[in-house]
Amino acid sequence: MRASLLLLSCILFFHRKLCGVISLSDPTSSPPRGWNSYDSFSWIVDEQAFLDNAVFLAKNLYQHGYEYVVVDFLWYRKNVDGASEDSYGFDYIDQWGRPFPDPDRWPSSRGGKGFAEVARKVHEMGLKFGIHVMRGINKQAVDSGTPILDVLKNSTYVEGNRTWTAKDIGITWRTCAWMQHGFMSVNTDIAAGRAFLRSLYQQYAEWGVDFVKLDCVFGEDLDTKEIIAVSELLRELDRPVLFSLSPGTSVTPSMAGPISSYVDMYRITADDWDKWTDVASHFDISRDFAAANLIGTKGLHGKSWPDLDMLPLGWITDPGVREGPHRKSNLTLDEQKTQVTLWSMAKSPLMFGGDLRNIDRTTLSLITNPTLLDINSFSANNKEFPFIFATRDIKSRYRPLNNRLTSQNLMVKPDKKVLGFTSCESVKAKGWFTKKDERDLNHICWRSDSTSQNPPYCLHNRIPNLTQDQLIIHKEEHVRLFQLVTKQTPDTCVATSISRKRTALEKERTTSSICTTHAAQMWGLNNNGTLVNSYSGLCATMISEKDNTIEGVRSWIATGRRGEVYMSFFNLNPQTTVISARTSDIAKLPAVIISLLLHFAATTTASGPCKFPAIFNFGDSNSDTGGLSAAFGPVPPPNGETFFVKPAGRYSDGRLMIDFMANTLGIPYLSAYLDSMGSNFSQGANFATAGSTIRRPNTTWFQTGYSPFSLDVQTWQFSQLISRSQSFQDQGLLKDKFPKEEDLSQALYTFDIGQNDLTAAYFSNMTSEEVKAVVPNIIDEFTTAIKNVYGKGGRFFWIHNTGPVGCLAYVLDRLTLRAPEVDRVGCGSPFNEVARFFNTKLNETVNQLRKDLPLAVFTYVDVYSLKYELISHASKHGFELPLVSCCGHGGKYNFNIHHMCGSKITVNGTEVVIGKSCKNPSKRIVWDGIHYTEAANKWVFDRIVGGKFSFPPTPLRMACKKTVN
């Protein structure tokens, strides 16, 4: 069975500096992520389908770093009968020969707007907009002789008293080899050619394009001059537009090296589709680029990234068809995990290709796996690890593994040589020479190995019928050009490219077609024995024709941003294989000093207490230190009277549990993120607001009292704080007001939320069974939030379960109970039973998170049991009237929803406070019918701080330590 396994197998003794948050001025500090329409829609995607996918990405993937939505090719082609990938005469072009969106598929483009309206909507979602473009100029424009726009003068381009047109700049014998009826190269050696490209890319920028994917200029279709010309034009723009190259058929590190600094990402394979053979074919090429140190090297806008192509997962279409998404990916789940793991370990850009409107939960979980995304964004020293052992006999897993495999171990088949190609810099390209046969005809031959008994492989060379313009151009290339034919097919010429896109697995071999004057059929023999192709710049060689089946085992290794070491094992065999590696071999890697963890559960390397530099808190009013009051008005007195002597943003007479936690850890009371006055976030921030829910509310605060700052919004605010803090740090501003970059992975992340989700459901007239039915969805949202924080560097999580809501006055006063539904204390049994159900599911989720996020430490804290114990045995613990509010007005519980704590009424023109505090809050448990008094908060905190009510039993000061199970 084919599968991949990612393990945290070791941890560094010496941690490197954190990689940090992506800088706003460096959009390519990590590999870009997003969605591309090609795998699901081929070329027929329309505006509505595109925007629907963008909406899903904005809501569900943006928080995981997916920010680009890209329209793939032929957005300018009419979707009518007769139109196809290489049809002619179906494209919309403007008066200057530039492609324009098909108005039937992109109705907002009408009136000359182009993609401006689509880009605006994408930007409003917080995303970035990208388009696919082809090499050079459209053949329709060349055939029509459209004028060229001089954008510097906003008029027709004129030079040397001559008005230039598309016919003057299109190189007709350099059409895209697999779209010969569509596009051709532009002559960038002349000013008119560069003027056309400037008008083209300036228009894209004016539309609001943030990402261009330039096709048919790389790999077999290499056009270095156009790549550099476009790169220079993009550099002129007043904002970054990312530059991507595609496809990467036959790309080698030596070809990519000189190009990488001009682009942001570049494909290094042909098109990848949902075949296992396509996925497996990426192991060699990714290994080679890692070995050449080309991962994350200098690029156009920061760094450049070798691109392994889109992820063809979920609901997709077929290559080359005029049909939208209609089938599921053919890859098995193990094969999909293998693909996403390799892409992440190799730090490839992650562009999802499936239709997001129909994505399934499994696929969504896979592409948002926090550990893989963390590796993809922040790891370093990524490379294939060759020293691994394997056996296919699973029964012998405890015996010595004596079959030592390296990354080169594949299934070996009988070898046969065929004509292929490689980089001209490779020694494998040298070995061609001229020879005359018995009829005095010229041949180009390959020098055979000295041990070979076979005669040299030879091709007949013939002089092509070039036009005068072609002769001029080729003369400048200083090489005598000829065509190559075989004895078997004298009317067909050898070429480096084919009339369609290759898939990733297809061999890098030459093809043949009817002889023309296309540059793909033009060859030249250099003095060093290399046979170079005029179109691609690649050189011919003799390659092994082996079976395409790739088998064996592979492994990759990488260093995380906190110094941890990741290893991934890949089984490419069709049967189960046991794979292992020796610690001593891992230790041989440069700059890696490691300590092997004998179990997947980690133990700490130090015995002392944790030194948390900061706390970041997420929650509701149980831990709100001023968020809601900053947003909607101050908390009135007598809130805060016991400790702060005045209102302090807290819904209590004094301190909350989060305050006692901060004090215990030596951290100042947390500033509310929403409070702009006098806040200091250098040692953490509080994102909690009173009334917050885990799920996003569908009502306003003014209607129901539930906060608009739900948990997902709080995690977005956390991301914003990190991003802006890094920006200020980069500028040397306010360094003492914001958290340090290195503190993020060492901070404590606390969560106390969920109570309002349950009460909101009850207040909307749901039954207990109906409330239980929505709990799984609530927990799913909670899981997403945790993973988002983890993805931003969070590693130490302290999670409170929810309290006995059935004992709070605001529930008992508003909801009707029958006598059997009231327990001996006076609490509502059905409400507490649902709270316990929620807590059970929460605990199960935390257990699963421990498995999903092996680098994190989770402490689950049972505050429910303590709060219920305090309420049910109040007098035993020194308290009184456990269900009655200390601060409020009227009724059985001293609670009135219309006259709450601190409320006033007007009597004879004078304001009178009726929501008054009781005489001795220190003897009371419930403060205002919803929240707890400082005394009750302190009582609960004193019992959780030591770890007795935590799972695993973990004192607060030790919450950075993992416990061996």
- pLDDT digits over 643-673, tens only? 999 999 999 999 999 999 999 999 999 999 9
Least confident of 74-78, 205-209, 833-837, 958-962: 958-962
CA angle, corner 44, sides to 40 and 46, nearest 5? 95
Q: What gap in Å lies between CA 286 and CA 46, rounded to an integer?
A: 34
Cβ-based burial of 23 (10 A; exposed 0-12, middle 13-18, buried ≥19): middle
Q: What gap in Å lies between CA 48 and CA 40, rounded to an integer?
A: 14
Q: What gap in Å lies between CA 62 and CA 127, rounded to an integer?
A: 8
Quick one: what percent of the chain has pLDDT higher than 70? 87
Neighbours of 622 (CB within 10 A): 27
| 26 pLDDT more than 80 | no
Q: What gap in Å lies between CA 203 and CA 99, rounded to an integer?
A: 10
Q: Using a cut of 0.75, tell me whether the model's pTM lies above it.
A: no
| 402 pLDDT more than 50 | no
Arithmetic mean of pLDDT over the chain: 87
Cβ-based burial of 76 (10 A; exposed 0-12, middle 13-18, buried ≥19): buried
| 426 pLDDT more than 80 | no
Name the strand (E) or helix (H) holding 9. strand 3-12
Q: Which pLDDT band holds residue 921 (cuts at 50, 70, 90)? A: very high
Least confident of 77-81, 168-172, 391-395, 867-871: 391-395
pLDDT at site 542? 82
Nearest to 204 by CA among 214, 218, 189: 214
| 14 pLDDT more than 90 | no
Question: Bigger pLDDT: 331 or 403?
Answer: 331
pLDDT at site 668? 95
Phi-psi region of 491 (alpha: psi -120 to 50; beta: other; left: phi over 0): alpha
Rounded to the nearest angstrom, the gap between the alpha carbon of residue 2 and the centroid of all alpha carbons in its chain is 24
Least confident of 247-251, 272-276, 645-649: 247-251
Nearest to 820 by CA among 808, 833, 805: 833
pLDDT at site 454? 67
Q: What gap in Å lies between CA 785 and CA 711, rounded to an integer?
A: 7
Distances (CA, A) of 624 to 615, 616, 688, 810: 14, 12, 5, 18
Q: Token pair 């003369």 is at which residue?
A: 475
Q: What is the pLDDT of residues 728-778, one digit of tens each?
A: 777 777 778 889 888 888 999 999 999 999 999 999 999 999 999 999 999
Contact status, residue 929 vs residue 903, Cβ threshold 8 Å: no
Q: What is the mean pLDDT of residues 432-438?
A: 81
Pairing outcome for strands 796-800 and 910-913 = unpaired
| 579 pLDDT more than 90 | no
Least confident of 458-462, 500-504, 630-634: 500-504
Contact status, residue 61 vs residue 368, Cβ threshold 8 Å: yes
Axis crossing angle, helix 829-852 with helix 768-791, rounded to the nearest 10: 30
Distances (CA, A) of 13 to 10, 325, 402, 963: 10, 49, 30, 19
pLDDT at site 405? 38
Quick one: what percent of the chain has pLDDT higher than 90? 65
Q: How far apart are the first and last CA of the chain?
A: 30
pLDDT at site 24? 41
Q: What phi and psi, each to the nearest 5 degrees, are found at residue 864? A: -55, -50
Q: What gap in Å lies between CA 132 and CA 136, rounded to an integer?
A: 13
**Amino acid at the residue 409:** N
Q: What is the mean pLDDT of residues 392-396?
A: 45
Q: What gap in Å lies between CA 736 and CA 917, rounded to an integer?
A: 39
Q: Which pLDDT band holds residue 411 (cuts at 50, 70, 90)? A: very low
User: What residues are labeled active site?
Assistant: 621, 928, 931
- For the record, the structure tokens of 950 come out as 């935590």
| 8 pLDDT more than 60 | no
